[in-house]
Structure 1
Amino acid sequence: MNPRAQDLGITPALLLDVFDTPVTFHRCLVPVSGGVNAALLLSHAIWTTQALDGEADGWFLKSQEQWSEETGLSRWEQETARRALRDAGLLEERRVGMPARLWFRVRASAVWAALKAQAARSAR
């Protein structure tokens, strides 16, 4: 390692921690979801849905802490993004169990319809 980097306290362990797994999202979701944070949350929800088995019917469980760890969004950013996605009809939520836990489902047909409508607007 470069001696100057070591003088600055930059270690291999620090670099691995700083350059953790990148968070990516589908840019095309920004105009249909209500903003970058909503697009990030929706992209991650779509990615999560792809790993589900058929019996889940698209529903998945994710805590606020998991959303934060996986996307970097704060509690308030998550709540605002979730509200925008619900209002746009792109994400469903339900509370199940005791204590109640929040489950999510992407409305894939609504996402597809919104993307088609956005493409038609862009083509004009």
Structure 2
Amino acid sequence: MPEHIPIIKLIEAMNEQPIAFNKHYVFLGCGINGALMLSQLVYWTARTKDRDGWVYKDHHEWTQETGLTRKEQHTARKTLKSLGFISEKKHGVPPRVFFRVERENLYKALIEYSATTTSIQLCHTEQLNVPNGTIECAEQHNHTCHTEQLNVPKGARNTENTTENTTDINLGASAPEQPKKFSAKKFLIENGVSEKTAQEFIDLKNKKRKTITDRSLKIIFNQAIEAKLSNERVFQIIVLRGWESFKAAWNWAETNAEIEQLENPQATPNPDQPAAPVFKGVAKKFKGMSND
């Protein structure tokens, strides 16, 4: 039917430049937009001619390739830089922003994440419009990789970037040593968080089905320093507020005042400053978190 030809051509054009998306980056704290931008940067890093791995793209190109608005790009970049996964530099006149994936930091975070995830979960890859051969799924032992795809063009599976590495692994005399499993509770206790508060935090994350890594905890520790709070107090606030993380810029002061009042009920209030209200149920919940 001739009248359908323009529609068919439009659909074919839409599938000409698909985007690779690695969902595991989301669980490293990147968020959806950060994971999308990082996935695209990893793709172009393997194809850049710059010996140091720098990639240049202006915000128009990012929008064209990913669909992210300029504001979404800015937020994603800020997140990726705070996690240490990318670096930026300005070069030229007028100055242009170049990006580089900090692969050592990214790989370390992936190793930590893999220690808390099963092999089958790691091999289960969801993809949106995968470009020419960017499906990379690490096969370990005899596990089978299961792939869900949307609009994956024919021949999208390509091992051109992994053939050499796979060959090297097969030639090795023995398998690499498996990383030790990360214990969030032990790590929290070692950094000044009480056992009860640590368990409350872990239970909260498990309820939300969120992964806990030492990198995500270190970010919270750094924010505690910025807020001039102890690690114990910060995680008490997180549990009481039901937060997934903590930022010094967030509105935590009122909750902190409530905990202070509960810990020091005999303290003389400042006559010039009204006492912070204690919400119903906070005292009961806090009592279960405090040390015996």
**1:86 aligns to 2:81 (yes or no):** yes
SS at 1:122's partner residue?
Answer: coil
2:92 to 83, 91, 97: 97
Instruction: Give the aligned partner of residue 45 of structure 2.
Output: 49
**How far has the Cα of 1:107 moved from its partner?**
0.2
Instruction: Give the aligned partner of residue 27 of structure 2.
Output: 31
**How far has the Cα of 1:98 moved from its partner?**
1.7
Q: What CA distance in whole angstroms lies between the structure 1 residues aligned with 2:92 and 2:17?
A: 32
SS at 2:65's partner residue?
Answer: helix
CA RMSD of superposed structures (Å) = 2.2
**How far has the Cα of 1:13 moved from its partner?**
2.6
Q: What CA distance in whole angstroms lies between the structure 2 residues aligned with 1:38 and 1:63?
A: 16
What is the identity, as a one-letter code, of the residue corresponding to 2:110? L
SS at 2:93's partner residue?
Answer: coil
**How far has the Cα of 1:120 moved from its partner?**
1.8
Q: What CA distance in whole angstroms lies between the structure 2 residues aligned with 1:19 and 1:74?
A: 20
Instruction: Give the aligned partner of residue 12 of structure 1.
Output: 8
2:57 to 47, 59, 62: 62
Q: What CA distance in whole angstroms lies between the structure 1 residues aligned with 2:59 and 2:19?
A: 17
Tell me the TM-score normalised to structure 1 length: 0.83
Structure 1 runs of 4+ aligned residues shifted over 4 Å read: none
Instruction: Give the aligned partner of residue 21 of structure 1.
Output: 17
Q: What CA distance in whole angstroms lies between the structure 2 residues aligned with 1:52 and 1:18?
A: 25
The 1:18/1:48 distance shift into structure 2, 3 A limit, reads closer
SS at 1:102's partner residue?
Answer: strand
**How far has the Cα of 1:79 moved from its partner?**
0.8
Q: How many residues are paired up? A: 119
**How far has the Cα of 1:121 moved from its partner?**
3.0
Q: What CA distance in whole angstroms lies between the structure 1 residues aligned with 2:90 and 2:80?
A: 17
What is the identity, as a one-letter code, of the residue corresponding to 1:107? E
Unmatched 5+ residue regions in structure 2? 119-180, 182-292
Q: Which range moved further: 16-25 or 77-86? A: 16-25
Q: What CA distance in whole angstroms lies between the structure 2 residues aligned with 1:50 and 1:71?
A: 18
Higher helix proportion (structure 1 or 2): 1
Tell me the TM-score normalised to structure 2 length: 0.38
Instruction: Give the aligned partner of residue 68 of structure 2.
Output: 73
What is the identity, as a one-letter code, of the residue corresponding to 1:97? G
**How far has the Cα of 1:122 moved from its partner?**
3.1
**How far has the Cα of 1:117 moved from its partner?**
1.1
What is the identity, as a one-letter code, of the residue corresponding to 2:111? K
- Identity among equivalent positions (%) equals 34
Larger radius of gyration: 2
- Kept after mapping to 1: 8 A contact 2:17/2:65: no
Instruction: Give the aligned partner of residue 36 of structure 2.
Output: 40
